[in-house]
Structure 1
Amino acid sequence: MTNDRNWGGLRKGAGAPITVGAENRRKQRAISLSDKEYELLKEIASERQISISELIRITFNLDTANETANNESE
């Protein structure tokens, strides 16, 4: 069955433009936590007014590592 209409399928230029380079693009990852652990993580992030992802990046100095890699390539 072919689609003679211009809806419901892939079209050139459709979707949001990609604004971040492949090396800086963030992908979703999964970690396993108990409900109690997750609630604690949410509470800490909320107290600091940051997202859980940002809390993890700060805690493990991941932003610093990314900035160092970016500065070395310049």
Structure 2
Amino acid sequence: MNKELQEIEDKLRESRLPDTDFSKSRYETWHRLIKAQRERRKPKTFSFLNNWVWTFASLIIIALGIIIMYYLSSL
């Protein structure tokens, strides 16, 4: 992936005119570059879990914290 990202960055720096429509090629190149940068920045740990799993887990942790605070305040 780094090789592909480097290739895209070099192509953009050199600004070579492609054989096909330049505006379409430039648009596709920029989108490939942005996609590669997002993939590079994406954390690898626990990335297999969906966003709703993280939301649900956060709500459970908050609820447990509130229950513990009420329990401790009643002592």
Q: Give the structure-2-normalised TM-score.
A: 0.27
Larger relative helix fraction: 2
Larger Rg: 2
Q: Give the structure-1-normalised TM-score.
A: 0.27
- Using CA pairs under 8 Å that are at least 6 residues apart, name the structure with larger relative contact order, 1 or 2: 2
